C-alpha cells in the first residue's frame, strides 16, 4: 500500500509539472507572436518545456519564416511539425530565442545543459536579439549551483579537464554514455553551490584547455523569464538591484 501511494504521488507530481510547463509554453508563444512577422526566424532550444513550446508554436507556423534549433532532437521535432529548420550559418538575424533552464536566479543567470545541448544553446542565445527562458517554478533559485554544472569537453581532454575542475573545489563526474550533437563528452560538476554572480566561474572554466564551453549563462543571461506557478504564469526581468552580488 505504501509503494502504491508513492507511485501515485510521483505520477501526480509529474502531471502537475507538465501542466505548468504547458501553461508557460502557451504564454511564451503569445509573447513571441507579438514580436515577429512572416519574415522572422525564431531560435528554439531543447528540453521538455521547450517541447511544449514547439507543440504550441506549430499551430502558428504560417506566421514566421522558420526556426534555428539548438539540437538535433529539436530540429527533428520542428521538421515533423512542418516548421522550416534553418542553418544558423545562413542567417545572422534571429528575432527571439526561447529555451528552458535547469536553474534560474533573480539576475536571470542560468544553469543549462541537463540535456547536453549547452554549446549550441549558447551559440543561438548569443546571436538572438532577445533570449526568453521558460520554466516551471521549481527551476527558480536564490543562488545557482545545486544543480550540477555541465561542461562540454573534447573527448581526449576528459581526464585533464576533470583534474583542472577538481582544483576549483567541485566534484567532476563524467556523464557516461552521453555524446553531444557535436561528438563531445559531458562532465557534470557537483558541489559548487553557491556560485558567485560575477561571471568569474564561467570565464575560468572556459579557459581550461579541452573545454568547449560550460552551462553557466552568467554573461549572456535571459532577457525575460516566464515561470509556470500554481497561481499562473509569472513574468520576470533581471533584478538590477542584485547586480554584482557575490555569494
Which of 12, 95, 103, 121 does the annotation list as catalytic?
A: 121
Is the per-residue pLDDT at 68 higher than 60? yes
pLDDT tens for 79-137 read: 999 999 999 999 989 999 999 999 999 999 999 999 999 999 999 999 999 999 999 99
Domain boundaries, the chain: 2-140+219-233, 149-215
Exposure string (b/e) for 64-103, b if CB count within 10 Å is 16 or more?
bbbbbbbbebbbebbeeeebeebebeeeeebbbbbbbbbb
Cβ proximity of 27 and 233 under 8 Å: yes
What is the chain's length? 247
Of 101, 92, 146, whose CA–CA distance to 123 is shortest? 92
Residue keyed to cell 582544483: 167
Radius of gyration of the chain (CA): 18
Confidence at 16, pLDDT banded by 50, 70, 90: confident
Q: Pairing state of beta strands 41-44 and 66-69?
A: parallel
CA–CA distance, 221 with 168 (Å, rounded to integer)? 23
pLDDT in tens, 20-60: 999 999 999 999 999 999 999 999 999 999 999 999 999 99
| Residue 214: strand pairing partners | 151
- What are the distances in angstroms from CA 16 to CA 20, 136, 220? 6, 10, 31
For residues 130, 113, 46, 206, the Cα torsion angle rounded to the nearest 10 degrees is 50
Q: Would you state the pLDDT for residue 17?
A: 84
**CATH number for the domain running over 2-140+219-233:** 3.40.50.1360
Answer yes or no: is pLDDT of 7 > 50: no
Instruction: Convert the pLDDT of each residue in 93-108 to its tens digit.
Output: 999 999 999 999 999 9
Q: Which fold has domain 149-215?
A: Alpha-Beta Plaits (3.30.70)
Active site residue 121: yes
Does pLDDT of 6 surpass 60? no
**pTM given for the model:** 0.90
Amino acid at each position: 500500500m505504501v509503494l502504491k501511494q508513492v507511485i501515485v504521488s510521483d505520477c501526480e507530481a509529474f502531471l502537475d509539472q507538465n501542466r505548468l510547463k504547458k501553461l508557460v509554453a502557451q504564454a511564451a508563444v503569445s509573447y513571441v507572436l507579438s514580436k515577429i512577422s512572416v519574415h522572422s526566424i525564431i531560435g528554439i532550444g531543447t528540453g521538455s518545456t521547450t517541447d511544449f513550446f514547439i507543440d504550441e508554436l506549430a499551430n502558428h507556423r504560417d506566421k514566421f519564416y522558420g526556426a534555428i534549433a539548438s539540437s538535433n532532437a529539436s530540429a527533428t521535432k520542428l521538421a515533423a511539425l512542418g516548421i522550416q529548420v534553418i542553418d544558423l550559418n545562413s542567417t545572422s538575424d534571429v528575432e527571439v530565442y526561447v529555451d528552458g533552464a535547469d536553474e534560474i536566479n533573480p539576475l536571470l543567470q542560468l544553469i543549462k545543459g541537463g540535456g547536453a545541448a549547452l554549446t549550441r544553446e549558447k551559440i543561438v542565445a548569443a546571436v538572438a536579439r532577445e533570449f526568453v527562458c521558460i520554466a516551471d517554478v521549481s527551476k527558480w533559485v536564490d543562488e545557482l549551483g545545486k544543480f550540477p554544472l555541465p561542461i562540454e569537453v573534447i573527448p581526449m581532454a576528459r581526464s585533464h579537464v576533470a583534474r583542472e575542475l577538481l582544483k576549483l573545489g567541485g566534484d567532476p563526474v563524467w556523464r557516461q554514455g552521453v555524446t553531444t550533437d557535436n561528438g563531445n563528452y559531458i562532465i557534470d560538476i557537483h558541489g559548487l553551490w553557491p556560485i558567485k554572480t560575477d561571471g568569474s566561474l564561467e570565464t575560468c572554466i572556459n579557459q581550461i584547455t579541452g573545454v568547449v564551453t560550460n552551462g553557466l549563462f552568467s554573461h549572456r543571461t535571459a532577457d525575460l523569464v516566464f515561470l509556470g506557478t500554481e497561481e499562473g504564469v509569472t513574468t520576470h526581468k533581471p533584478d538590477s538591484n542584485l547586480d554584482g552580488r557575490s555569494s
